[in-house]
Structure 1
Amino acid sequence: MDIAATMRRLTGPLAGRIEMMIGRAVIAAIADAPQAQAMQIELLADEVHDGVERFQGYGFTSHPHPGAEAIVVFPGGTRSHGIVIQVEDRRYRLKNIAPGEVALFDDLDQIVHLKRDGIHIESLNKVTIEAPDIEVIADSVVIDSPDIGLGGASGAKVARVGDDVDLGTGKIISGSDVVRAE
């Protein structure tokens, strides 16, 4: 009796299941409405799985584009119930960040980058902060803008330190053209 052949025969099914436990996939479609994001993924040739749950880290979520790549785990090695555990989209990945740095980014080049020398936020779109109170504690604050509205989009001009003001009328004689308050 050939012991090696017997061992291959006995362990063969187990080895096959182990080999099928982890796979690479391409995302074909995403359903973002369910409690857990559900994906249609393409694995091996002609192997398509629908409704595969995606596990995301607590407090973080994203909606990747079709064509992004994924790592899929199949508990027990059976391909009937996969779980997407990681998604990568090399088309949009922020590149060349320094060791130790972290960034959040999207496909529109909007970035929150924790850099070695500070935090950098970048967007070509409007940035909105909604909160009942905002507190800024800093040694210095610089606002570089050609148009500053305090309390609204329009209003009376506000004098800055150093502006010439008629103390009798309160009218700004020279200085601020960019700061207004309602």
Structure 2
Amino acid sequence: MDVNGQLSRLYRQVRMLLGIGRVTSMSDSGVTQTIQYQTPLEVRDKTVRMAEFGFSSGLPGGTDVILGFLGGDRSNAVIIASNHQGYRHTGLATGETVIYDQWGQYVKLTKSGIIVEAKGQPVTVNDATTVTINAATGVVMNTPTLKVSGDIIDNAGTNSTTMKKLRDTYNEHDHQVKNVQSGSSTATSQPPGELVQ
């Protein structure tokens, strides 16, 4: 048994276990995401990218990736980590976490609260049965217009009357005019001249 030969072979395999490359393209259509990467020695396509359950991202071109070569076999690579130097979100304090993209949008968890930066793009919540906000102090909306497609009820725990019903009641209401000069009769006023829409 050639021990030196076996140790030399093992040493080469260990050296070949990891590598670094740069993404040139990606596909996210299958059961696993596949990446084409480039190293100084090769360009390889359809390389599987492993990511944590519940989180996925589309790697832009130029992203650096760490390659793991199973058994030291350069033809059997898997991507185990990634970083894009130009788009990386910087300045995090200890304990902070951020989800970000290449357009500057992010959700950041900080010690003092959660920040959602939409960079002028819409934020949408789809297909929810109920959206509940439990705020101890208040809810502030700095917006020129608040649009609601359905009814609004204030003091919802004790009140069931909608704002539309209040508007309709106001627009239709009238009242008797007292102290009419023609005897003891009363007259009914017209509804308000300006309706609340």
Q: Which residue of 1 aligns with 2:140?
A: 142
* Offset of residue 7 of structure 1: 5.3
Stretches of structure 2 that go unaligned for 5 or more consecutive residues are: 151-162, 165-169, 175-191
1:21 corresponds to 2:17? yes
Q: Secondary structure at the match of 1:134?
A: coil
Q: Which residue of 2 aligns with 1:177?
A: none
Highest RCO, 1 vs 2 (Cα 8 Å, sep ≥ 6): 1
Q: CA RMSD in A?
A: 2.2
Q: Secondary structure at the match of 1:39?
A: strand
* Residues in 2 aligned to 1:15 and 1:111: alpha-carbon distance in whole angstroms: 43
Q: Which residue of 2 aligns with 1:48?
A: 43
* Residues in 1 aligned to 2:33 and 2:144: alpha-carbon distance in whole angstroms: 43
Stretches of structure 1 that go unaligned for 5 or more consecutive residues are: 1-5, 153-157, 160-164, 173-179
Q: Which residue of 1 aligns with 2:115?
A: 120
1:96-111 correspondence runs (5 A): 96-111=91-106
Rg larger in structure: 2
1:90 corresponds to 2:85? yes
1:80 corresponds to 2:75? yes
* Residues in 1 aligned to 2:28 and 2:9: alpha-carbon distance in whole angstroms: 36
* Offset of residue 42 of structure 1: 1.3
* Residues in 2 aligned to 1:85 and 1:9: alpha-carbon distance in whole angstroms: 30
AA aligned opposite 2:29: A
* Offset of residue 147 of structure 1: 0.9
Say how many residue pairs are matched. 157
* Offset of residue 46 of structure 1: 2.7
AA aligned opposite 2:143: S
AA aligned opposite 1:41: Y
Greater fraction strand = 1
Q: Which residue of 2 aligns with 1:30?
A: 26
AA aligned opposite 2:110: K
Q: Stretches of 4+ moved more than 2 A in 1?
A: 6-10, 165-172
Deviations 1:127-174 (A, max 9, x none): 00111211111121111101111117xxxxx79xxxxx88754845xx
Q: Which residue of 1 aligns with 2:125?
A: 129
Q: Which residue of 2 aligns with 1:3?
A: none
* Residues in 1 aligned to 2:6 and 2:102: alpha-carbon distance in whole angstroms: 49
1:68 corresponds to 2:66? no
Deviations 1:112-138 (A, max 9, x none): 000110000011201001112111111
* Residues in 2 aligned to 1:10 and 1:145: alpha-carbon distance in whole angstroms: 71
* Residues in 2 aligned to 1:93 and 1:171: alpha-carbon distance in whole angstroms: 55
